[in-house]
Amino acid sequence: MTSIPMLPTIIGDMAGSFIIIVLSFLSLRYAYLLIRSQPENFLWGFLFYFCLTLAAFSVSRAVGHLLKQILLISGYREQWRFLAPFTGGFNTLLMISLGAVTIYYHKGIEGYRAIQQKARSIKGANEQLKVAADELQKLNLHLEEMVEERTRELSASEKKFRNFFINSKDMVYFCDAKNRLVNMNASGLKMLGYSVADSPALDLADIFNNEDDLDKYFEEIKAQKFVEDLEVEFARADGTVIYVLLSATAVYDDAGEFIGCEGIAKDLTRVKTMMAQLASSEKMASVGQMAAGVAHEINTPLGVILGYAQLLMDDFPSDTDEGESLAVIERQTKACRKIVADLLKFSRQAESAREDISLNEILTDVLAVTEHSLNMDHIRVHQDLDQDLETIVGDTEKLRQVFINFINNAHHAMEEQGGGDLYVSTSNRNENKEIVVTVRDTGHGIPEKVRSNIFDPFFTTKPVGKGTGLGLSVSYGIVQEHGGSIEVESPVIDKESGETMKGTAFHVILPAAVAESYVVKE
């Protein structure tokens, strides 16, 4: 068998061994440069150690192959046989190390990724901390400006609320969970007749006139958390009652516990009075029509009775029983005819004169006539007549009758208590378009339960024989005929001080002549 020459194989083996050493060290150098440029990069560190192990394996293997060829060529076969197991074992050890490094590569990558993720998380947290630090620094720099701006906003808001609380003409109040008033504005205290010093000692039980209204108020507050347009009666400091329209809202703390309420109350007393007067006006109109019909029906038979009685009186002497009986019939018939005349005046069926009138002159004449009887009962008269009072158009005699009725009623109210003061005043109102005449006494006043009936025909609180109950009814009709109205106060509230005074005040409001609004009905 022809043998193959071994020289090319030997040369190739030696050249390969040399080349593998060169390449492995080039790889090791490149890995070293990478790890120098990015020391924190785990992958380059792993690659450097892998190349280092590979270079050691290449050197070990190449040196073993070169040593083998040199010893064989030199004829030292025995020496090679001795060294061969050592070089093979060392190569195997390096091969195992290289395999182990390769096998655990993915574990290193996972660890590297975990480290990278943690690093990114820490980096993000650092960036957030930096942003927060920048914002905190900015906040510190502008904190004083922000506080000043917020303070201005709060001050403006508090000023708006304070202005509403102070300047509101309605009652504004705050109370705690035990019904105690925490605060109430001046209008509310004035409405109730209390001073600022009385406010801390008040609670809602002192203000509500009816306990049932107070219970209903709190039931709705707790059930609905608010009360809207609740009509209730409030008791004033002097014991009088006013009607109010109440709206309130429950107040809760941060834990949701009920701690009180805040509310607004509007005085409806004047509205109620006006509605009552309107209803009374409608009733009086109906009564007037009925009274006119009844008066006409009664007037005819009364005239017949009076005529026949007067004819019979000519046939019987006055000192006989028949003459005395006829005189009684005549006298009572004339009294009935006077009542009928008053009814006709009340229903405005009588004719009215039309002329310019000075109410000051009428009042002066009426006071001159009644002054003696007033002085006899220790009643002092106080006059406050506006010297620039406008004139009105109407019937002097009828208006004189109106004021005589008012003064007589005041006289009767004060004579029972042994005297008093009578105040008579006149003034212009509404830019001289209206004239107000006020007749006020310091008598016992008019009870609230009968106040709405005082203008009804035949209604009177006087004993039998002291009055017919037509005086105020006739006065009401005359004032209505002149295009005016009557307002009644009992007790009387001083408009300047808010003080409550005993007695009754009748305010007669009539249109001035310059207003050209009055037409006398014929």
Q: How many CB atoms lie within 10 A of CB 52?
A: 17
- 99-113, 145-159, 419-433, 454-468: least confidently modelled range: 454-468
Q: What is the mean pLDDT of residues 281-292?
A: 61
Q: How confident is the model at residue 470 (pLDDT cuts 50, 70, 90)?
A: low
pTM of the model: 0.39
Alpha carbons 409 and 358: distance in angstroms, whole number:
23
pLDDT digits (tens, 9 = 90+) for 52-103: 777 777 777 776 666 666 776 777 777 767 766 766 676 677 777 766 666 6
Report the topology of domain 355-515: Heat Shock Protein 90 (3.30.565)
pLDDT at position 286 over 70? no
**Residue with tokens 């009552």, as numbered in its chain:** 276
Q: In what order do the strands lie in the sheet with 485-489?
A: 379-384, 420-429, 434-441, 505-511, 485-489
What single string gives the DSSP state of each residue in 451-486?
HTTTTSTT---SPTTS--S-HHHHHHHHHHHTT-EE
Q: Please report, for the chain, the start and end positions of each structural domain, with discontinuous segments joined by +.
A: 7-103, 168-267, 273-346, 355-515
Q: How confident is the model at residue 522 (pLDDT cuts 50, 70, 90)?
A: very low
pLDDT at position 256 over 70? yes
pLDDT at position 253 over 80? yes
% pLDDT > 70, the chain: 73
Q: What pLDDT score does 456 carry?
A: 63
Better-predicted residue by pLDDT, 513 or 348: 513
Q: 168-267 has which CATH code? A: 3.30.450.20
pLDDT digits (tens, 9 = 90+) for 319-336: 888 888 888 888 888 777
Q: How confident is the model at residue 163 (pLDDT cuts 50, 70, 90)?
A: low
Question: From residue 109, how far is each of 37, 103, 114 by CA, in Å?
Answer: 19, 11, 9
Better-predicted residue by pLDDT, 354 or 83: 354
Q: What is the mean pLDDT of residues 464-493?
A: 74
pLDDT digits (tens, 9 = 90+) for 206-232: 788 888 888 888 888 878 888 888 888
What single string gives the DSSP state of each residue in 226-267?
EEEEEEEEEE-TTS-EEEEEEEEEEEE-TT--EEEEEEEEEE
State phi, psi for 332 to the nearest 5 degrees.
Answer: -70, -35
Mean pLDDT (the chain, rounded): 76
Q: What pLDDT score does 348 carry?
A: 54
pLDDT at position 418 over 70? yes
pLDDT at position 520 over 70? no
pLDDT at position 161 over 50? yes
Better-predicted residue by pLDDT, 518 or 406: 406
